[in-house]
Amino acid sequence: MTIGIESWSLNVQDKAGVGTRTLTGRGTIPKSIPWDGRDDQGKVLPEGAYKAVLTIAYVNGNRPKLESPLHRAGPDPARRHGEGGTALFSPDGDGVKDTVTLTQQTSDEVFWTGNFTGADGRDVKTWIWRGRADPIVLWKAAVTTAP
């Protein structure tokens, strides 16, 4: 439930349940909350099993907690290197620079998510890959209108 959220905190914990990093926010919880593998002091944490505990504070006083399963993380984070095919991408449907080709090399992970984000911060295109991301991504944008 997203109505009435006052604040939230995401506490990254090691397998013993000791908190290593806390990320916080107010209002609506973002779709993703990136963690860079560091503790609250900025020190890179050792490779190991970590979980996330999300606590949501509602204006009515409720404080539910959600806990993720343990995941392996460490100093060898997922890697991606990519390049865009053009410096200007203009997905307005006029036939000029409406297509972009991206090339990328990634490490082998459980899954990858790639997003194009609009000026308003909302995702406008999303890809999901398992293992390694596709080495070439072609997106031909089209103008769409909301109903």
Low-confidence ranges of the chain (pLDDT < 50): 81, 85-87, 143-147
pTM: 0.50
Residue extents of the structural domains in the chain: 5-73, 80-140
Decide: 48 and 17 in contact? Cβ < 8 Å: no
Q: How far is CA 35 from CA 21, 38, 118, 119, in A?
A: 9, 7, 22, 23
pLDDT in tens, 67-107: 888 877 755 555 554 555 444 566 666 777 777 777 777 77
pLDDT (0 to 100) of residue 76: 52
**Cα separation, 86 vs 43, whole angstroms:** 37
The rounded mean pLDDT for the chain is 78
- Is domain 5-73 in CATH 2.40.160.20, yes or no? no
Both structure tokens of 19? 């908190």
Q: Find the radius of gyration of the CA atoms of the chain.
A: 19
Q: CA-CA distance, 49 to 40, in Å (whole number)?
A: 17
Of 45, 40, 44, 36, whose CA–CA distance to 14 is shortest? 45
Give pLDDT, residue 119. Answer: 67
Distance CA 66, CA 13 (A): 13
